[in-house]
Chains A and B, each alone.
Chain A
Amino acid sequence: MSLKESARLLLGGETRKPAPEDYSPGARQVHELKRMDVEHQRQLKEHAKLGHPHRNRWRNRRWAVLIAVNLLFVFSFWLDIQILEGALTASRFLGFHLIDLNSALQVMLAHKHILVNLVIGTATVFVLWVLLGGRAFCSWVCPYHLLAEWAESLHLYLVKKKKVSDHAFHRGLRTVLWLLFAALAFATGYTVFETLSLTGILSRALIYGPGLGLLWVLFWLLLEVVYSRRAWCRYFCPIGLTYGAVGLATPLQVGYRLGNCFHEGDCRKVCLVPHVLECVIKGRATDEKMDIGADCTRCGLCVDVCPSGALNFEVKGLSNWL
């Protein structure tokens, strides 16, 4: 996916079919081959499935990392082991400042002064997430993501039972909210979004003990169960957009191989941000190898679920060496 297209989707643009001239000769050839030789494709698919049973490999790794990071915060305080002190908004890892990019932005806009520690900590975190894949912060670190995944299972169960249905919001909402909360921080001189940030509230509740703020978290979980699948992470949270923007330039990607794909769409069903997976729809991929866009949280659910190994984690520029 081109950088421009990746950014357009991140900001909430609608997905669209590629124009005929967008296709590379190789991709055109593969699409043509798939149309011509249906029986051979079916046989290939059956064969591929044998080699890729559905496992929760990446999901389990990710949950382990997410829980470990958050527990490291908790135990650094509770047991006074002082490895990762603070909360997700700002912390010190073995003494080095780490500052959440979105919180830093809110503080700088509200305070209108730039502090040296803030710059050091923000730069460190920026580099970290450029290397680790932008929105990977969401799925590998943010504690709300884990709770929301569990709420999502419940939501999908209720949808299957026809008790509830999913209500989508326009994806441009997150961009508008990002701009408005930035403007509000500047205009009011107060970090307005921090009061609403589920990430911050949950992180502090884990470390410093529960409070009324958890009711706000509960409200969103309920909303996601009964009304709109993964609503906060999909349509609202500006933190996701901040890290998504960082992810525009990251070498850590989920890569797609057209040749291995049989267009069954399992990946899009499990995906938090299925608009980044439009290329897996039959006839949409413009290249034989493609990167999934910046809005992807690198959660790996699609990698786990793909029955034919068409989706995999890749590190650009390194994959050839690994």
Chain B
Amino acid sequence: MAAKLPHKAEQARRRFLRALIGGGALLAAGGAGWLPLVYGGETRLRPPGALEEDDYLASCIKCGQCVQVCPVSALILADLGDGHGIGAPYIDARAQACDFSCDAVQCILACPTGALTYTKPEHLDTRGAMLMAAAPILLAKEKDPEPTLNLKERIGVARLARPDLCLARQGKGWKGAARAADYEGMLRFMEVDRWQPIPLNDHPFDVAVCDLCVRTCPIKGAISLEPLPGGHMTPVVHEPCVGCGVCEMACPTEPAAIVIDPRRGWEA
């Protein structure tokens, strides 16, 4: 027996109820995408020139134009499961750091909304520790008339997180490719090609005392190897560090001895 067709008022009531339930479910789904941000979760390394996290997430329009201009594909758009803004770009420095091989922080130029910006409007939040004491000098451009990067704030700062793993501190050197055989990260080496980044692993090293973090760092005066009391050496991070993550990427130990603390400022 066929069920009696609901009459008009009953159909309208059902349409309304479905709308109530469907609309509620969609709002809940939207909330589920937002809650991980409320609770903070993992702090991600944002591209150079990024506003403070709240402003960044509010203003990023998730178009990926920054992704398109990056010569080393350092920027990744967050996926649904990442829980911190689907479509908003971040950097996984260990996989692929920003090595500034574009010379001019092109991602900032590409951003249509000012989520990445050369000059932050005054009314937006700025933490003092994020401000660079001086415009960072890009070693690749050191002899150019304008050697600096147009970058007012750092995106993080490097830290020797696992000193016991650091090869220099153990007096060890490094021979061969910096990373495991399947590693695909790219880096620019001035002595190889001024304009074209190459796979990091295509550039083997042979050093008596490991200083890969120091020799790959693209910024002048950001990191140096200093003697320890016992006669060994240790990497020391200095104020010009912008937090690009090249040291973390190039560190040959597994896991990396030196890492970037995303969005942390400089504390002397």
Could you tell me which residues of chain A, from 143 to 175, have a CB within 8 Å of some CB in chain B?
Answer: 167-170, 172-173
B106-120 CB mask vs A (1 if < 8 Å, else 0) is: 000010111000000
B58 touches A111 (CB 8 A): yes
B18 touches A168 (CB 8 A): yes
B77-88 CB mask vs A (1 if < 8 Å, else 0) is: 101110001110
A85 touches B65 (CB 8 A): yes
Chain B residues in 8 Å Cβ range of A184: 27, 30, 34
Q: Tell me the minimal C-beta distance from B95 to chain A in angstroms.
A: 15
Chain A residues in 8 Å Cβ range of B55: 111
Measured CB to CB, the nearest residue on chain A to B77 is A208
B59 touches A170 (CB 8 A): no
B113 touches A107 (CB 8 A): yes
Residue among A99, A192, A194, A215 with the highest chain B CB neighbour number at 10 A: A194
Is A89 located at the chain interface by the 8 A CB criterion?
yes
A181 touches B61 (CB 8 A): no
CA distance A297 to B124 in the complex (A): 40
A115 touches B113 (CB 8 A): yes
Chain A residues in 8 Å Cβ range of B67: 208
Is A127 located at the chain interface by the 8 A CB criterion?
no
Is B121 located at the chain interface by the 8 A CB criterion?
yes
Main secondary structure of the interface of B (DSSP, over half): helix
Is A58 located at the chain interface by the 8 A CB criterion?
no
Measured CB to CB, the nearest residue on chain A to B33 is A195
Is A300 located at the chain interface by the 8 A CB criterion?
no
CB within 8 Å for A170 and B19 given contacts A190-B34, A190-B37: yes
Across the interface, A86 reaches (CB within 8 A) one of B30, B54, B65, B123, namely B65
CB within 8 Å for A90 and B65 given contacts A196-B30, A204-B87, A208-B77: yes
Q: Tell me the minimal C-beta distance from A9 to chain B in angstroms.
A: 15
CA distance A208 to B112 in the complex (A): 18
Is A50 located at the chain interface by the 8 A CB criterion?
no
B62 touches A89 (CB 8 A): yes
Is A256 located at the chain interface by the 8 A CB criterion?
no
Q: Sort chain A's interface into a size bin.
A: 35 or more
Could you tell me which residues of chain A, from 72 to 126, have a CB within 8 Å of some CB in chain B?
Answer: 76-77, 85-87, 89-92, 97, 99-100, 103-104, 107, 110-113, 115, 117-118, 121
Number of A-B contacts (CB under 8 A): 155
Across the interface, B80 reaches (CB within 8 A) one of A77, A90, A99, A216, namely A216
Q: Tell me the minimal C-beta distance from B117 to chain A in angstroms.
A: 9
Chain B residues in 8 Å Cβ range of A200: 62, 87
Main secondary structure of the interface of A (DSSP, over half): helix
Q: Tell me the minimal C-beta distance from B34 to chain A in angstroms.
A: 5
Interface size on B, residues (CB 8 A): 44
B62 touches A85 (CB 8 A): no
CA distance A174 to B26 in the complex (A): 11
Is A213 located at the chain interface by the 8 A CB criterion?
yes
CA distance A196 to B28 in the complex (A): 11
A104 touches B61 (CB 8 A): yes
CB within 8 Å for A87 and B63 given contacts A168-B15, A180-B27: yes
CB within 8 Å for A196 and B26 given contacts A77-B68, A107-B58, A204-B77: yes
CB within 8 Å for A212 and B79 given contacts A86-B112, A90-B112: yes
Is A188 located at the chain interface by the 8 A CB criterion?
yes
CA distance A103 to B87 in the complex (A): 12
Is A236 located at the chain interface by the 8 A CB criterion?
yes
Q: Tell me the minimal C-beta distance from A139 to chain B in angstroms.
A: 22
Is B9 located at the chain interface by the 8 A CB criterion?
no
B68 touches A176 (CB 8 A): no
Across the interface, B61 reaches (CB within 8 A) one of A103, A180, A215, namely A103
CA distance A170 to B18 in the complex (A): 7
Is B176 located at the chain interface by the 8 A CB criterion?
no
Chain B residues in 8 Å Cβ range of A100: 61
Across the interface, B63 reaches (CB within 8 A) one of A90, A115, A177, A215, namely A90
Chain B residues in 8 Å Cβ range of A85: 65, 68, 110
B30 touches A235 (CB 8 A): no
Q: Tell me the minimal C-beta distance from B123 to chain A in angstroms.
A: 7
Is A201 located at the chain interface by the 8 A CB criterion?
yes
Chain B residues in 8 Å Cβ range of A213: 79-80, 86
Is A207 located at the chain interface by the 8 A CB criterion?
yes
Known A-B contacts: A117-B113, A118-B112. Give 20 more (CB < 8 A).
Answer: A86-B64, A90-B112, A107-B59, A111-B55, A111-B58, A111-B113, A117-B114, A118-B114, A170-B16, A173-B22, A176-B19, A188-B34, A191-B58, A195-B30, A195-B86, A201-B80, A201-B86, A216-B80, A231-B22, A235-B22
Q: Which residues of A contact B (CB under 8 A)?
A: 76-77, 85-87, 89-92, 97, 99-100, 103-104, 107, 110-113, 115, 117-118, 121, 167-170, 172-173, 176-177, 180-181, 184, 188-196, 200-201, 204, 207-208, 211-213, 215-216, 228, 231, 235-236
15 residue pairs from A and B, CB less than 8 Å apart: A87-B63, A90-B113, A113-B59, A117-B114, A172-B19, A173-B23, A177-B23, A184-B30, A194-B62, A196-B30, A201-B87, A204-B87, A208-B64, A231-B22, A235-B19
What are the 8 closest A-B residue pairs judged by CB atoms, nearest first? Answer: A195-B33, A90-B63, A170-B19, A173-B19, A211-B79, A110-B58, A212-B80, A111-B58
